Amino acid sequence: MSLKKEAISGSEVDEKLAALMTNSNAIRAIASAVEGTLGPKGLDTMLVDKFGDVVITNDGVTILTMMEANHPAARMLINIAKAQQEEIGDGTTTATVMAGALVSAGFEQVAKGVPVARVIEGLRVGLKRALEAMSEQARPVEGLSDPAVRQVALVAGREHGDIADLVVRAAVLVGEDKLRDDPTFKFSDTIIAEEGAENQVFMGVIINKERMNRQMPKELERVKVLVIDDALEPEEIEDEALGTEAGFSRYLQLQAEFKDNINKIAGLQVGLVLVDRGVDDAAEEILTDNGIMVVQRVSNKELRKASELTGARMIKRTGLKKAVDELEKCLGYADRVYSDEKLEQVWVMGGKGKPMATVLVGAATSEVVGERERIAKDAASSVQSAIKGGVVPGGGAMELAVAREVEKVREGIRGMAAYGVDCVVEALKRPMAQIVANAGFNPLEKLGDVIAAQVETGKHSLAVDCDSGQVADMDELGVVDPANVKIYALKAAGEVAEAILRIDTIIKKREEKDMHDKDIVNQ
């Protein structure tokens, strides 16, 4: 009888571990897909779709969002990585690798008999201390002239010096205040990559549309700008109304009013008109005859950028009914407008509104355009993060130093929660271990060397030089990372690890259609 009870008990334990094991394996599979890209010696990943189209990238979030992942736990981790990218713009690979390490270490402790509740308790304690220690180690950036700014761009830009220089120049044009204090401004949005273009930075915005026709001017200087967040077409009348005398009369009236409004634009000597949607043929003809450049179907993001740069106030088509003096107050101003026929773009440069820089990254072939743009966006995001939250030593040095601080917390914890703290320590060691492994060295040996050197010298900036394999000072080598990137990555990893460890059972939901049909039958 007792043997039977023991067998049942063992079976129940196995069932409880099955869900955690399945989820842990899924998380590990996702982490392994990106961990090979980590560090200066990280390699690229090739993603192939069913049509044979290929994307070759070293960018963690690109790999995660493009890869096929059906497991719910895997999708949870991918969503966390997306959130990291949206909030910070970089560090998705680090977050994914640490999340994988936390979940794996947590599963191992639970498999040994440590209750999940105690593991989670220890995780929280360890993560809290780790985040505090990371914040303590952050060094403020002393303005955009601080050498750390370019080094952050260089490290995040995967050693592409030309891209790092472009990003730093753009940061200077935008200004430290906007980078640090404007919560709506994303520096990475200023990046555009084009095949055949020359690397350059300028004060202005690029509209990824051509002028409506070749009869419109190709280049204008000292231009008044009108931005219409609507269609530049007459107001519509329903077909049924057109069949009546009153409706047709109203139609003719609207056509005449619309023509007057277009002539009003010409009378204000507007040089550039940007339109959210389509433009009526009659309007195009009048504006062309008056030497006005019109760009239609401009994306809302580009409209907003142009509006900010030029100081124009976006209006609807009904806004054209305003009196001339009122309408003039809605106009913006640009120093120069240029239509680039080769790139099929319109460039709007200079303005009386807010400073708005654009970083144009050139690429030799279409195959590398996307990757060059991703590299530049990572560099821009990292620079903005560094301005906001300072920098810390890179190469995994900071995480390893923090791991030693977390180990001190473990010494004061009684009970099984200490095993959860161990999970945090292991996760913090993981980035350096992976960077070293990707560089072709033994991670166990090198981690031991670095820990001994950090303890002996008291320097938290020591890590492994991936070229020589020797212990080196990351600050002296210029290997620095934004503190915010590291802090958010650890937070994200902790959140997804706790969520996964808390899942006790996996149950398949009924289809919504089946549930709806059953409700109908019951009624």
22 pLDDT exceeds 60? yes
| E-assigned strand segments in 332-434 | 332-340, 345-349, 357-363, 391-393
Q: How confident is the model at residue 16 (pLDDT cuts 50, 70, 90)?
A: low
Q: How far apart are CA 188 and CA 362, in angstroms?
A: 16
298 pLDDT exceeds 70? yes
Identify which of 35-39, 44-48, 64-68, 187-191 has the greatest average pLDDT. Answer: 187-191
pLDDT the model gives residue 213: 92
Q: Which domains does the chain have, with CATH numbers?
A: 2-139+393-501 (1.10.560.10), 142-189+366-389 (3.30.260), 202-363 (3.50.7.10)
| E-assigned strand segments in 189-317 | 191-195, 200-207, 219-228, 272-275, 293-295
What does the radius of gyration of the chain's CA atoms come to, in whole angstroms? 29
CB count within 10 Å of CB 218 equals 13
Q: Give yes or no for a contact between 460 and 137, defined as CB atoms under 8 angstroms apart.
A: yes
Kindly state the average pLDDT of the residues 24-46. Answer: 83
The amino acid at residue 249 is: S
17 pLDDT exceeds 50? yes
91-147 residue pLDDT tens: 788 888 888 889 999 988 988 889 999 999 999 999 999 999 999 989 999 889 999
| Alpha-carbon separation of residue 355 from 173, 308, 331, 333, 505 (angstroms) | 7, 8, 17, 13, 53
Show Cβ contacts of residue 377 under 8 Å, excluding neighbours closer than 6 positions.
89, 188, 191
Q: How far apart are CA 519 and CA 512, in angstroms?
A: 11
Show Cβ contacts of residue 484 under 8 Å, excluding neighbours closer than 6 positions.
88, 385, 386, 388, 389
Q: Which two tokens stand for residue 360?
A: 């144009």
451-493 residue pLDDT tens: 999 999 999 999 999 999 999 999 999 999 999 989 988 998 8
pLDDT the model gives residue 248: 67
pLDDT the model gives residue 238: 67
Q: How far apart are CA 24 and CA 102, in angstroms?
A: 10
75 pLDDT exceeds 50? yes
Q: Tell which residue, 8, 5, 22, has the closest CA to residue 505.
A: 22
Q: Tell which residue, 225, 207, 230, 384, has the closest CA to residue 301.
A: 207
Q: How confident is the model at residue 257 (pLDDT cuts 50, 70, 90)?
A: confident
Q: Is 199 helix (H, G, I), strand (E, B) or coil?
A: coil
Q: How confident is the model at residue 2 (pLDDT cuts 50, 70, 90)?
A: very low
Q: Which two tokens stand for residue 217?
A: 């001017």
Q: How confident is the model at residue 241 (pLDDT cuts 50, 70, 90)?
A: low
Residue reference for tokens 């350059």 = 200
Residue 282 C-alpha from the chain's centroid: 42
Q: Which two tokens stand for residue 457?
A: 């010298």
Q: Tell which residue, 481, 491, 494, has the closest CA to residue 381.
A: 481
Q: How confident is the model at residue 11 (pLDDT cuts 50, 70, 90)?
A: very low
Q: Is 356 helix (H, G, I), strand (E, B) or coil?
A: coil
329-373 residue pLDDT tens: 999 999 999 998 888 899 999 888 887 888 888 887 777 888 888
DSSP single-letter state for residue 317: G
Show Cβ contacts of residue 190 under 8 Å, excluding neighbours closer than 6 positions.
170, 174, 356, 357, 358, 359, 380
Q: In the chain, what percentage of residues exceed pLDDT 70?
A: 91
Q: How far apart are CA 249 and CA 8, in angstroms?
A: 86
Q: How far apart are CA 291 and CA 217, in angstroms?
A: 6
Q: Give yes or no for a contact between 483 and 135, defined as CB atoms under 8 angstroms apart.
A: yes
pLDDT the model gives residue 154: 93
377-425 residue pLDDT tens: 999 999 999 999 999 999 999 999 999 999 998 888 888 999 999 999 9
Q: Which two tokens stand for residue 108?
A: 């191992």
Would you list the DSSP string of 432-476?
HHHHHHHTTS-HHHHHHHHHHHHHHH--TTEEE-TTT-SEEEHHH
Residue 262 C-alpha from the chain's centroid: 40
Q: Which two tokens stand for residue 56?
A: 């070759």
Q: In the chain, what percentage of residues exceed pLDDT 90?
A: 43
Q: What is the mean pLDDT of the chain?
A: 85
| Alpha-carbon separation of residue 366 from 193, 194, 358, 371 (angstroms) | 10, 8, 20, 10
279-295 residue pLDDT tens: 989 889 999 999 999 99
Residue 518 C-alpha from the chain's centroid: 43
pLDDT the model gives residue 225: 94
